């Protein structure tokens, strides 16, 4: 069955991979890209979403979202990881199409209400738009099919953080928004570093994507040169972890992942700000800030080989039909 998704994103190199994966896979209907600051500032991430829509003829809407976090001071764009233009500084033509006039959070509210029970929200950037949507229209909690988030790190396999020792980038960018989204009464699955650091696009794998996936494969290869240089310089590896595409893989085939249930809270200030903590044991405490919060899913294991096969198969099949 096809899953309708709104993909909330800060494109971003791995965001572009996730967007193209979603567009390519026939089990996903990409209803919209809603944009958020993060890897790039909001005008750049929105331009990049519009660029992808125009260049690859997506039918989806694009709606521009938040330019900064709810409470904390902005962290600033991840230029060192994604380049000045968010797409690895590959030259891009300015798109001639425009975004939907509504803000991203209003677009999310309207679309979820128009199709109750049908829309899965997939968020692969800071969670500001989703927090604004649920704050402005709490009734959408019961109307959303599912919320899938790339973000957070819960310490499985010792994966505890990437932008600080104990925080993942998307959550660290707006911990207050993340705490709102993760404690809201809607069904959330978090696909964090616990699993995204267990799947790896090697340089050779990306060469295969370039050689077998037509225009989208070449584009992914081009923009990922900058990303791979960052990984090599920072971690000494030849390739990159599979962050945002993993959230799409979960939507297509949740059986690729093992999940653990329990309520989640986010540390909102201090040295551990952005840290995500799941209470997954039934212990009793005099003080318990997890008590009465809904149990959510955290992905703790992934079939990485099957995920890589799914990604490549989706892309090659799509390319063969263009
Ligand atoms: O930590 C990885 C996440 O941060 C990904 O969503 C990536 O695009 C960056 O935003
Ligand atoms: Ca992202």
- 243 an active-site residue? yes
Which domain range does residue 19 map to? 3-321
DSSP letter assigned to residue 164 = B
DSSP letter assigned to residue 255 = G
Residue 151, pLDDT score: 98
Give the active site residue among 82, 159, 197, 243. Answer: 243
Residue 1, pLDDT score: 82
Residue 15, pLDDT score: 98
**CA 183 / ligand 1 centre spacing (Å):** 21
Residue-level pLDDT, tens digit, the chain, 322 residues = 899 999 999 999 999 999 999 999 999 999 999 999 999 999 999 999 999 999 999 999 999 999 999 999 999 999 999 999 999 999 999 999 999 999 999 999 999 999 999 999 999 999 999 999 999 999 999 999 999 999 999 999 999 999 999 999 999 999 999 999 999 999 999 999 999 999 999 999 999 999 999 999 999 999 999 999 999 999 999 999 999 999 999 999 999 999 999 999 999 999 999 999 999 999 999 999 999 999 999 999 999 999 999 999 999 999 999 8
- Give the span between the Cα atoms of 228 and 89, in whole angstroms: 13
Neighbours of 20 (CB within 10 A): 27
Q: Is the CB of 239 under 6 A from ligand 1?
A: no
This prediction's pTM? 0.98
SS3 at position 261:
strand
- Total domains in the chain come to 1
**CA 316 / ligand 2 centre spacing (Å):** 23
* Domain at 219, CATH number: 3.90.245.10
Q: Shortest CA distance to 23 belongs to which of 55, 48, 60, 49? A: 60
Q: Is the CB of 9 under 6 A from ligand 1?
A: no
Q: Is the CB of 85 under 6 A from ligand 1?
A: no
Q: Is the CB of 194 under 6 A from ligand 1?
A: no
**CA 14 / ligand 1 centre spacing (Å):** 7
Crossing angle (nearest 10°) for helices 214-235 and 304-321: 150
- Ligand 1 probe mutation, 10, 230, 231, 248, most atoms within 8 A of CB: 10
Q: Is the CB of 83 under 6 A from ligand 1?
A: no
Distances in whole angstroms, Cα of residue 228 to Cα of each of 13, 25, 38, 235: 10, 25, 19, 10
- 100 an active-site residue? no
Contact present, 164 and 172 (Cβ < 8 Å): yes
Largest CA distance in the chain: 60
- Give the span between the Cα atoms of 111 and 170, in whole angstroms: 24
> Looking at the chain, which runs of residues are DSSP E strands?
3-9, 28-35, 61-63, 119-123, 146-150, 188-191, 200-202, 239-241, 257-262, 264-266, 276-278, 296-302
Q: Hey, whose CA ends up nearest to atom 4 of ligand 1?
A: 169
């Amino acid at each position: 069955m096809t899953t309708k998704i709104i993909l909330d994103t800060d494109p971003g190199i791995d965001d572009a991979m996730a967007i193209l994966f979603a567009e390519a896979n026939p089990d996903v209907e990409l209803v919209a890209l809603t944009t958020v600051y993060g890897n790039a500032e909001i005008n750049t991430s929105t331009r990049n979403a519009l660029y992808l829509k125009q260049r690859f003829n997506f039918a989806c809407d694009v709606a521009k979202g938040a330019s900064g976090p709810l409470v904390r001071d902005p962290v600033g764009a991840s230029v060192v990881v994604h380049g000045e233009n968010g797409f690895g500084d590959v030259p891009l033509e300015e798109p001639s199409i425009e975004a939907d006039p509504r803000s991203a959070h209003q677009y999310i509210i309207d679309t979820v209400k128009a199709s109750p029970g049908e829309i899965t929200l997939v968020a692969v950037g800071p969670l500001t738009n989703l927090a604004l949507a649920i704050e402005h229209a709490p009734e959408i909690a019961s109307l959303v099919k599912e919320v899938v988030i790339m973000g957070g790190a819960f310490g499985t396999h010792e994966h505890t953080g990437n932008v600080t020792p104990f925080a993942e980038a998307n959550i660290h960018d707006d911990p207050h928004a993340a705490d709102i989204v993760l404690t809201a009464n809607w069904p959330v699955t978090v696909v964090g570093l616990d699993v995204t650091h267990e799947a790896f696009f090697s340089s050779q794998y990306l060469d295969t994507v370039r050689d077998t996936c037509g225009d989208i494969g070449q584009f992914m290869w081009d923009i990922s040169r900058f990303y791979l240089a960052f990984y090599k310089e920072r971690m000494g590896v030849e390739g990159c972890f599979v962050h945002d595409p993993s959230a799409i893989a979960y939507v297509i085939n949740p059986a690729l992942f093992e999940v653990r249930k329990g309520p989640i809270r986010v540390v909102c200030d201090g040295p551990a700000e952005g840290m995500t903590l799941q209470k997954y044991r039934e212990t009793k405490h005099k003080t318990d800030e997890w008590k009465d919060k809904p149990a959510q899913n955290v992905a703790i294991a992934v079939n990485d080989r099957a995920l890589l096969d799914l990604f490549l198969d989706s892309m090659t099949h799509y390319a063969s039909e263009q």
